Chains A and B, each alone.
Chain A
Amino acid sequence: MILVIAGATFREAVRSRAFLGLLIIFAICVALSRIVGWVSSTDGNLVTTNIVLSLQSLIGVLVAVATGTALVQAEIQSRTLYTVLSRPLPRWQFVVGKFAGLSAALAAGQAAMLAIGLAYLWITGAKVTGWLVVAGGLTIAEVLVMAAVSLCWTALTSPLLAAVLGLATYALGHAVASLPGLMHYLKGWQAPVAAGLASLVPDLGHFTYRDQAAHGIPINPGDVVMHLAYAGLWIALLVTITVAVFRRKQL
């Protein structure tokens, strides 16, 4: 049943005009990124590569937050949720199926963005290496974590607030990546409190290999596995929280 729901969610997402529209916006932004490369007083290749990889992450996260917060809410508004839940279907299966379908759609969108970005870089003469693909893969993991964050916030609050909290979590997630370097400024009880609070949000610094990849700096396969495992654990935790909340929710 999970696969059926996931398949339906995936088909619905990739057939939506918003999905195609965002891909087109991404393609336009990627094409314009070359202009920044031109004005950079360099050959522009590295600058363009950085921007393309950043666009994949930023647009991907925006899509993840927007769709993650609307995922269940849209079903409630269109009342299709009641039809589905009136069948002998546990609520957890519904949530997991919806998230799996959304994740598959987001991953497909991200893969398309990565392919467009790398093709553009290759056409414009920038160096395209396998490391960029690895960096793109880690960005997909980042986007999926953010989709799970948004889904979880939706279960706890209203969709609008969930979107705001989702974006705030994204900012915090990158901010906490810099925190270990600042710990020596904290004294006594401040350090464990800061570390404890910072550990409550996903450390999105795990997925920022893109900056090194643009320079062709290799990454250990072990590190990639670790980063993906980190993403997997956060997704599992957030989806489980969502299921727990959704089971008790009065719909």
Chain B
Amino acid sequence: MLRTYFLILAILALAGILLGWNISRFVGAKAVIKTKELAFLPGPTTARVLALGQAATAAKLRWIDSFQFQQLVIDRKDDRLPDGSSVFVRLYDTLIPLDPLFLPFYQNAALNLSGILGRHGDELRYTGLGIHNLPYETKIRRMFASCLVAFFDFEERHPEILDAVLADWAAHESDANGRNQVWRWQQMMGNRAFDGLEQVPYWLEQLEHTTPGTSSAEFVEGALREQLSTYAQRAMSAALKELPQVVFLPNLQDETWQILAKPIAERIAALPATKIPPAGALPIIRDQAGRWRLRHDPWGWPWMRLIDGTFYPGGEFRRDFRGSLSRANQELLSAVKKAGRWPTTLAEVAELGVTIPAPTPAGGTVRLAGQVLVVEWTDPPEKPWPLRAAP
């Protein structure tokens, strides 16, 4: 009897220890540095053979596994192998034949190849393939048409082809509501006539296909904020020319700069109705008393004034800083390989000859998290400009 109790106790104790051990890996787990390469990918036919009759499942698992590589490409803006071939092209050429009816493959291909790497021809290729495989899928049609207009200027260069593309899209919509979507899309693309905001509809389209909080979503949001910021910078610079009395100030937190809001509002109000950007894209906003006030930049940080007098968004400055830190991390990795040891403090990082970018922008703190230099920010003084439509 004693022996049985002892065995049960031993089983429970061992199971408890092992369960705890397993769970401990998840407690306080942090995102791993994403440096996974996809140098090897089988061709479509080999992949099908290797899938052992589970082609669709294998494709999804391979795709999910490639997310880490996508993060790497977002960081370094390059997916080329030493022989010059594109990993993304190989990836989607493998995945799509395994499950040609899975819409996210095409959306993901468009975002990665066109949005992140700027290879818009590849986006056309994959969305074109998507139209072939999913002819009744509105989302693919929208992406294809947006790409033609935003990057290949088909409205001006080949209006007849664009008309044919849109007519084909409308013909594949099953009801009147669907066909109306084609005309609504045309209307939205017509709103692109604002300096610096030409690609905003395209990026909003891309944003719709991302999940909030993912690295792809962060990237698309960044691209949108950059364009909104360019428009705001131009509007502010133009308004400044009308106010020669404004003196140099290091940043625009000061109330003095609210003087810019009125001329910006007046200039925008003077535009033809079709050229007025939507209120959400403007650098000014009405306060509760109905007065125009200057907003912080699209990231919610105060605008900065550079020595040459131009404006610079504080949010983008912080983003650039994060990029510099990413380069410092690469330096750190090389230095560690030479030194044969990992540093434990920032001082030791500097001793290894790694240049930590300085000065850190206000609100940021650089620290060594494990083996990586990271910067942590306080919340910006204003909420970032909302980009997604309210649910």
Residues of A within 8 A of B (CB): 36, 39-42, 46-47, 50-51, 53-54, 57-58, 142, 170-171, 173-175, 177-178, 181-182, 204-205, 207-208, 210-212, 214-215, 217
The answer to whether B53 and A207 touch across the interface, beta carbons within 8 angstroms, is yes
Flag if A214 contacts B56 (CB, 8 Å). Answer: yes
Interface-central residue, B52, B63, B67, B99, by most chain A CB under 10 Å? B52
On whether the beta carbons of A36 and B64 are closer than 8 Å, the reply is yes
B386: min CB distance to chain A, Å = 22
A-B residue pairs, 5 tightest by C-beta? A174-B53, A211-B56, A54-B57, A54-B54, A215-B101
29 contacting pairs across A/B (C-beta < 8 A)? A36-B61, A40-B60, A41-B67, A41-B108, A41-B210, A41-B211, A41-B216, A46-B60, A47-B64, A50-B54, A50-B57, A50-B99, A51-B57, A51-B60, A54-B56, A54-B57, A57-B54, A173-B53, A174-B49, A174-B53, A177-B53, A178-B45, A178-B49, A205-B53, A208-B53, A208-B55, A210-B56, A211-B56, A211-B99
Known: A40-B60, A41-B211. A46 touches B102 (CB 8 A): yes
Interface pair B60/A171, CB less than 8 Å apart = no
Q: Does B104 contact A (CB under 8 A)?
A: yes
Assess whether B293 is interfacial by the CB under 8 Å rule.
Answer: no
Residues of B within 8 A of A46 (CB): 60, 102
Q: Is B51 an interface residue (CB 8 A)?
A: yes
Partner of A40, one of B48, B49, B64: B64
Chain B hits for A175, CB < 8 A: 49
Q: Beyond A46-B102, A217-B101, is A182–B54 a contact (Cβ under 8 Å)?
A: no
Chain A minimum-CB-distance residue to B99: A211
A225 to chain B, nearest CB (A): 21
B56 pairs with A57, CB closer than 8 A: no
Give complex CA distance A210, B57 in Å. Answer: 10
Count of A-B contacts judged by CB separation below 8 Å: 65
Interface pair A50/B56, CB less than 8 Å apart: yes
Q: A36-B64, A178-B45 are in contact. Are A204 and B101 (CB under 8 A)?
A: no
CA distance A212 to B89 in the complex (A): 24
| A55 CA to B139 CA, complexed, in Å | 31
In the assembled complex, the Cα of A173 lies from the Cα of B54 at a distance in Å of 12
Q: Do A182 and B45 have beta carbons less than 8 Å apart?
A: yes
Inter-chain contacts of A174 with B (CB < 8 A): 49, 51-53
CA gap between A40 and B102 in the complex, in Å:
12
Write out, one digit per residue, whether chain B residues 367-381 have a CB within 8 A of any chain A CB (1) or not (0). 000000000000000
B214 interfacial by beta-carbon distance below 8 Å: yes
CA distance A36 to B56 in the complex (A): 14
- Shortest distance between the CB of A115 and any CB in chain B (Å): 20
Contact B60 A57 (CB under 8 A): no
When chains A and B are docked, how far (Å) is the Cα of A2 from the Cα of B57? 39
Which residues of the other chain, A, contact B104 by a CB distance below 8 angstroms? 40-42
